[in-house]
Chains A and B, each alone.
Chain A
């Protein structure tokens, strides 16, 4: 069977073609304008950031050379030829790594407890009063927008050098970000159980405990595990400002040009982060099943 394609008369076609051409031209113009603005922004940014391509080309060899050097032992042999020599400080480094993990654990848990205490106040559907919600939300926003390393810098001065400052920095930052995520989970919760509990004359706290909490607890745990994963990464660099953990060793190694130590510590950090990622991912899948995993 043959289908006939109806061809419009020339005059009608010309008008439509013209319209099509104009629509395409308008899109092209808009795209070109956006591209031009973007390129201009890039140029301004390049000037602002003191981009110097000559420096880059001159020193790019250094970048490659740097990795060449950190993969070489003092004796000049490649690091993987002598693991004992490469990881000579593994005892100390493992302890620092343990400290980092412990700090992120304590920080995450404290943050999760703080977020747990605040999130019902911040959620649209459960907050007892609008003014309270506004205050709590701004507080959480502040806690998560200020980077944890800035908190760490200030806490190092207030609490002294050591992992305590790092833990508190992680805790505050986690409170901010988990508080937001938790309150979003609460906002997605079904409100009918709340009405049910309310109709029995229960107080606000009982409503939260018996109507909301059972719905959201799985989501909380999932987000807290995810946060732990992120915090392990963050904790590994908080040592840069003196807040304890493996970062302290790393920054010393980098600044003092202990090349093979740098690569050894980096390998340890990357492997640890990788293991934590995999195990929390596995745990989340196991605890809540694939379909609930956030």
Chain B
């Protein structure tokens, strides 16, 4: 039978020394980190020009703006806004499709199991990385310089910046694909292109389609943003109305964006589930 008496506290202390007496370094680590984080935070507040007075005036102003936003009212420009919204959706759809079409062949070059040689893979990956490092808005500004103001610049901006992101995602998907099917094609005498077409593409296509749909969804948001720098769509209208302080129109536009984004979310998640089944979500 077991000894019934429970160990006394000193006994426990002696047995589990490291539980009862943590070394000072581990006990002080958390408060020190919190203190450091708070210190940087306060320094940031001061350095960035926060002051209670400014905050209060700003909040007061913001309160006024919110009041003036109600009720949302498009005035006479509803058709214009609807057209702009359509433009935004078009930008998202076209930009993502273009990016996906361009990214698929390049992602093959960046995938370890298709191109084993690092000589090609490494520069391709770095290229994709640096494209991704530059924000969509910056690409939009660059394309505006090239093709002029308007939604077309937006399409190209989304296409380029998503090319980087999708290229990376696709190459990761390709690397995760099952090698056995490719080997099977090779064993039956297929060349590399046939390996890719019959061994790889059927495996990765549903996943890739899911990723593309997800990007169309998130690009609806990006496409509203790039309008602010002049690349067309509803963002352009929004930025203009904010600049001329037409708050009722602003709130209406924001509402339109929210509804459009929610609708696209819903449609695309439905489509995604239809394509890849409920189990996997990109």
Question: Which A140-182 residues sit within 8 Å CB-CB of chain B?
Answer: 142, 145-147, 149-150, 153-155, 157-160, 162-164, 167
B245 → chain A closest CB, angstroms: 7
Q: Return chain B residues, CB-CB under 8 Å to A41.
A: 93
Nearest chain-A residue to B60 (Cβ)? Answer: A158
Q: Does B11 sit at the interface, judged by CB under 8 A?
A: no
Query: Binding site of A, secondary structure by majority: helix, strand, loop or mixed?
Result: helix
Out of A106, A147, A150, A270, name the residue touching B48 (CB < 8 Å): A106
The total of Cβ contacts below 8 Å across the A-B interface reads 165
B65 & A157 in contact (Cβ 8 Å cutoff): yes
Q: Return chain B residues, CB-CB under 8 Å to A102.
A: 40, 43-44, 47-48
Q: Does B70 sit at the interface, judged by CB under 8 A?
A: no
B145 & A146 in contact (Cβ 8 Å cutoff): no
Q: Does A126 sit at the interface, judged by CB under 8 A?
A: no
Q: Does A254 sit at the interface, judged by CB under 8 A?
A: yes
B187 → chain A closest CB, angstroms: 20
A270 & B151 in contact (Cβ 8 Å cutoff): no
Question: Which A36-60 residues sit within 8 Å CB-CB of chain B?
Answer: 41-42, 44-52, 55-56, 59-60
Q: Does A83 sit at the interface, judged by CB under 8 A?
A: no
Question: Which B251-282 residues sit within 8 Å CB-CB of chain A?
Answer: 254, 257-258, 261-262
**Contact code string B112-153 (vs A, CB < 8 Å = 1, else 0):** 000000000000000001100111011001110111101110
Q: Return chain B residues, CB-CB under 8 Å to A56.
A: 147, 152, 156
CA distance A106 to B49 in the complex (A): 12
CA distance A44 to B89 in the complex (A): 11
A45 & B90 in contact (Cβ 8 Å cutoff): yes
A158 & B44 in contact (Cβ 8 Å cutoff): no
CA distance A42 to B101 in the complex (A): 13
Q: Does A109 sit at the interface, judged by CB under 8 A?
A: yes
Question: Which A82-116 residues sit within 8 Å CB-CB of chain B?
Answer: 99, 102-103, 105-106, 109
A164 & B49 in contact (Cβ 8 Å cutoff): yes
Question: Which B204-242 residues sit within 8 Å CB-CB of chain A?
Answer: 221, 224-225, 228-229, 232, 238-239, 242
Sort chain A's interface into a size bin.
35 or more
Q: Return chain B residues, CB-CB under 8 Å to A149.
A: 137, 225, 228
Q: Return chain A residues, CB-CB under 8 Å to B87.
A: 48-50
B229 & A240 in contact (Cβ 8 Å cutoff): yes
Can you report 28 residue pairs joining A to B where beta carbons are below 8 Å apart? A45-B91, A48-B86, A48-B90, A49-B152, A50-B150, A50-B151, A52-B152, A62-B145, A63-B142, A102-B48, A106-B41, A109-B37, A145-B257, A145-B262, A146-B254, A147-B225, A150-B242, A154-B65, A157-B242, A159-B57, A162-B48, A163-B48, A164-B55, A233-B135, A240-B141, A254-B145, A255-B141, A273-B133
Q: Does A219 sit at the interface, judged by CB under 8 A?
A: no
Query: Binding site of B, secondary structure by majority: helix, strand, loop or mixed?
Result: helix
Residues on B facing A (Cβ under 8 Å): 37, 40-41, 43-45, 47-50, 54-55, 57-59, 61-62, 65, 86-87, 89-91, 93-94, 97, 129-130, 133-135, 137-138, 141-143, 145-148, 150-152, 154-156, 221, 224-225, 228-229, 232, 238-239, 242, 245, 250, 254, 257-258, 261-262
CA distance A254 to B138 in the complex (A): 9
CA distance A189 to B258 in the complex (A): 31
Known: A59-B147, A66-B146, A106-B45. Contact between A49 and B62, CB under 8 A? no
B218 → chain A closest CB, angstroms: 11
B90 & A49 in contact (Cβ 8 Å cutoff): yes
Q: Return chain B residues, CB-CB under 8 Å to A163.
A: 48-49
Nearest chain-A residue to B259 (Cβ)? Answer: A145
Q: Return chain A residues, CB-CB under 8 Å to B154.
A: 49
